[in-house]
Amino acid sequence: MSDYPFLSREFLSALEETGCTTAATGWQARHLGGGRRPFMPLYVKTHSYGEYVFDWAWADAYHRAGLAYYPKLVTAIPFSPITGPRLRPPAEQLDGKAAEALFAELRDIAADTGASSWHLLFPDTATRRLFRGLGLLERSGVQFHWFNRGYRDFDDFLAACNARKRKMVRRERRRIAEQGLRVEMREGTEIDTRLWAFFFRLYQLTYLKRSGMEGYLTEAFFERLGTTLADRLAMAVAYVDGEAVAAALYLHDAGSLYGRYWGCLREYECLHFELCYYQGIEYAIRRGLDRFDAGAQGEHKIPRGFEPVETWSLHWIRHPEFAVAIADFVARERAYNLRYLEEARSLLPFRTGGD
């Protein structure tokens, strides 16, 4: 996955150079390697915001025991709960000795910074496999991804769904036109400066609604992406009477589409489903992409064709007694997640038998 956009120099440097990941924001970059050595992103964190693998309870347990959980070390794509490679070159090209060297360097940095732990978030299978055997705890999670089964177009995808869900999706899509909305998918340089400014306003509004804060990312970050990663970008924009009223941002590589952020000036029925799911599905089919990762959480994705998948994170806990306690927690959590996955799969909308 050499074209995975989130591990690119362009993406990570945009975060750092536009003020999103700095010591002041609690994301102090201390990346490993580079040059002839494998590169791995690393941040010294003073909180757990923007990670999407939730360890607030662990931090609270440390606090109640009179211990400091922060700082901690995190290898992740900041603010992006997206499974993918975490090493350059990719883990498939590395061996166990490389993993051992990286882990030794991580422990040295933990000693230097007083970090309680190291957390590797949303690694792909190859990265996860590379670090096995080093005594790391494996924690599972669940997301919902859409998979392209060779569909010719959106109607071909709908034909794979049962009649009730086909009717639901078609009804939701009709509501867009009935409300006077028109949707365009803009790509790359078609996303101009005015549209980026509009999208940043939406981004801030969305975070204000959800959490009362204006988000983690700066307007300069989005503008930088529009310049340095234009060939990996798409934006679904909804208009009413020629006025933009909502938008959803996507990134993609050769095989996958990634839905990242969305927002609206006004609420419209079914518009979130249209911009964040159905437009993405159509785009993935049109480009021949295998997978559409629309982001974290969202059981409402299941009846719209998004399948439950297991996600992973790896954890090194320096304190031996807490390591034992957390190992017990993640084992019990995994058992719950496996039951949840099975139940979620039973709710998928795809046709069975004579439907």
Give pLDDT, residue 355: 62
Structure tokens at 165: 């869900």
Beta strands in the chain (DSSP E): 27-29, 32-34, 37-40, 43-45, 72-75, 117-121, 137-147, 181-187, 233-240, 243-252, 256-264, 291-293, 307-317
> Is residue 227 pLDDT above 90, yes or no?
yes
Residue appearing with tokens 């990242």: 260
Q: Quick one: what percent of the chain has pLDDT higher than 90? A: 94
pLDDT in tens, 113-145: 999 999 999 999 999 999 999 999 999 999 999
> Under CATH, which architecture does the 149-289 domain have?
3-Layer(aba) Sandwich (3.40)
Closest-CA residue to 124 (of 258, 250, 313): 313
pLDDT in tens, 236-251: 999 999 999 999 999 9
> Is residue 197 pLDDT above 90, yes or no?
yes
Find the largest Cα–Cα distance for the chain: 64
Three-class SS state of 99: helix
Domain ranges of the chain: 5-142+309-345, 149-289
State pTM to two decimals: 0.95
Looking at residues 316-334, what average pLDDT do you find? 98
Give pLDDT, residue 32: 97
Q: 69 and 114 in contact (C-beta within 8 Å)? A: no
Give pLDDT, residue 212: 85
Looking at residues 182-209, what average pLDDT do you find? 96
Looking at residues 184-210, what average pLDDT do you find? 95
pLDDT in tens, 46-61: 999 999 999 999 999 9
Q: 52 and 75 in contact (C-beta within 8 Å)? A: no
5-142+309-345 and 149-289: same fold?
yes
How far is residue 48's CA from residue 95's CA, in Å, rounded to a whole number? 30
> Is residue 1 pLDDT above 60, yes or no?
no
Q: 42 and 30 in contact (C-beta within 8 Å)? A: yes
Give pLDDT, residue 296: 86
Which fold is adopted by the domain 5-142+309-345? Aminopeptidase (3.40.630)
pLDDT in tens, 263-301: 999 999 999 999 999 999 999 999 999 999 998 878 999
Cβ-count burial 314-346 (b if 16+ within 10 Å, e if not): bbbbeeeebbeebeeebeeeeeebeeebeebee
Give pLDDT, residue 179: 98
